[in-house]
A and B are shown apart, each in its own frame.
Chain A
Amino acid sequence: MNTIFLKLFGSVLFLFLIVLLPLGFVVQQIFSTYNESHLQEETAELAQQQADLLPLLDERRLGLLVDALSENTAREIALAGANGEIETSSGVEEFSPAALGAEGTYQDEASGREYYYAEAEAASNSFDVTSVYVFSPKHLLGGSMNELLLALIWAGTGSILLALGFTFIAARRLTSPLRSMEKAARQMATGNLNVQVPASSKDELGSLARSMNELARDLKQFRNTRREFLSNVSHELRTPLSYVQGYSRALKEGWYRSEEEKQQYVHLIHDESHRMTRLINDVFELSKMEEDRFPLAWELVQIEEIAEAAVQKIKPRARQKGIDVSFDADPDLPAAAADPMRVEQIFSNILQNAVTYTHEGHIDVTLSRQNKQIWCRFSDTGTGIDEEHLPYIFERFYRTDKSRSRAHGGSGLGLAIARELTELHHGSISVQSRTGQGTSFLIQIPAAEEEEE
């Protein structure tokens, strides 16, 4: 039994008692006043009947009239003369109309019984009786009132039981999704995020269940990506670390033949540690970007200037490989709100990739204006990317060819950083590629609004 269920159950019981008890009282009161007035009327009618009978009777029959009424029914009768004195009566000897009036209640001292009584004027008769009084004992009422009370109690109990029965069903229906939700939430709390909260209804409970499911899914994804991220980082660190370990051991043990070889080892160690530093920096930056609290130094900048600077920086490396880099920008490009350093980081990440994965041919950088956006296109004539890899290349640590990329010094974070940065600038990045023919990256950055100076 859960407590919400009990609370519902208890409240219904409480409500019914609150309503039924006063209702019962009022119904009982209505019936008793109705009965009383009914009895009064009956008594008066009876008195009138007896009074009407009187003139038709002779001496002997008068006693019979009194006896008939007092013995065959629970009622009593009294006959009064002109002076107000009681002449004949049955069981109500001490009654005196002068003291009590024509109608009302009377308690007999001898028997202790209570009566309603009524008076009727008698027509002139041979007994000198002017008034007839008929007495109806109150206990006539009492019996039927007790029965009525019993009936009311039965009906009240019945209504409470019925209400409880239906409340039972309703409460079960209402609380069963709550219970399953609570069970699921408890399981989630212990770390089992695969549970699904059943969300069938369309009310608040249903939407609560749906939000819980969503939360669990997000949490699961978060947990998975974190796990993946950690394993990726440790994997990425392991390779350079094992190099460093191996070469430093070789140096320590003197496993080299010439000073030249020794120098080579030192260089390798230096390179690897350099790579690790870069990797750690990249990971750190990337994680900051993903948490959405990456500080950007917003400025109003001309994107083409930044792009040109990036191209100039990459040119020496390109020239070494014999690759031509061309730069072309529309003459009147609008300014954009951006962090110049970060935009340059985007461009240089892409350009570095272009140079790295292009062996002959050229790289073209073109900037143009499209509606309210600045489109920066970086096309190369390099190796291209297989279609199966295309959807993933912006993911952290994703490389199409692990060993080759490593040889170029890539960690697989360049494009992930570029995408995060572009998104921080409210822009978007996309790629088109054909294996063996080249790759083209498109970066769209929103231009600053005219009035936003």
Chain B
Amino acid sequence: MKKREWVPAVLFIVLGIHCFVMPGFVLTGSLNVHSYLAQVLHVCFWIGIPIFLTGIIYLVWKKRKRSKGETS
């Protein structure tokens, strides 16, 4: 992927995270930089879990395949 192609993807993701942060303020009604960032971190944490899991599964799979390739 070229650099130019990452731009829309990153834009979508950043906007998505922003949208996820908003409900917190709609319901509590208080908005400040600190709580905004905290909420962003929370959302990122939940996004990160599947990415992290996928990464681990991918690594394990790759390692196993490599060791299999050596023996055969």
Contact = CB atoms under 8 A, between A and B. Distances in A.
B27 to A, nearest CB: 5
A162 B12 CA distance: 6
Contact of B13 (A152, A157, A166, A173): A166
A168 B23 contact: no
B64 interface: no
B66 to A, nearest CB: 12
A158 B23 CA distance: 10
Considering residues A160, A164, A168, A173, which has the most beta carbons from chain B within 10 angstroms of its beta carbon? A168
B38 to A, nearest CB: 16
A148 interface: yes
A341 interface: no
A268 B19 CA distance: 95
B43 to A, nearest CB: 8
B19 A169 contact: no
Nearest to B19: A158
A155 B10 contact: no
| Size class of the A contact interface (CB-based, 8 Å) | 20 to 34
B16 A161 contact: yes
A165 B1 contact: no
A173 B1 contact: yes
Given A147-B27, A148-B27, A172-B1, A154 B19 contact: yes
Q: Helix, strand, loop or mixed for chain B's interface?
A: helix
A151 interface: yes
Interface string A43-73: 0000000000000000000000000000000
B20 interface: yes
Contact of A151 (B10, B13, B15, B26): B26
A7 B22 CA distance: 30
A172 B9 CA distance: 10
Nearest to A157: B19
B16 A172 contact: no
Q: Helix, strand, loop or mixed for chain A's interface?
A: helix
Given A151-B23, A151-B27, A154-B22, A162 B17 contact: yes
Considering residues A147, A155, A158, A176, which has the most beta carbons from chain B within 10 angstroms of its beta carbon? A158
Contact of B19 (A161, A168, A173): A161
Considering residues A152, A154, A163, which has the most beta carbons from chain B within 10 angstroms of its beta carbon? A154
B9 to A, nearest CB: 4
Given A161-B12, A161-B15, A165-B16, A154 B23 contact: yes
B8 A168 contact: yes
Contacts of A148: 27
B20 A155 contact: yes
A165 B20 contact: no
Contacts of A158: 15-20, 22
A162 B26 contact: no
Contacts of B26: 147, 150-151, 154
B59 interface: no
Interface in A414-445: none
B47 interface: yes
Contacts of A168: 8-9, 12
B23 A155 contact: yes
Interface in A171-188: 172-173, 176
28 contacts: A147-B26, A151-B26, A152-B23, A154-B22, A155-B20, A155-B23, A157-B19, A158-B16, A158-B20, A158-B22, A159-B19, A161-B15, A162-B20, A163-B16, A164-B12, A164-B16, A165-B9, A165-B10, A168-B8, A168-B9, A169-B1, A169-B6, A169-B9, A172-B1, A172-B5, A172-B9, A173-B1, A176-B1
Given A151-B22, A158-B20, A169-B9, 13 more contacts: A157-B16, A157-B19, A161-B13, A162-B12, A163-B16, A164-B16, A165-B10, A166-B13, A168-B8, A168-B9, A172-B9, A173-B1, A176-B1
Interface of A: 147-148, 150-152, 154-155, 157-166, 168-169, 172-173, 176
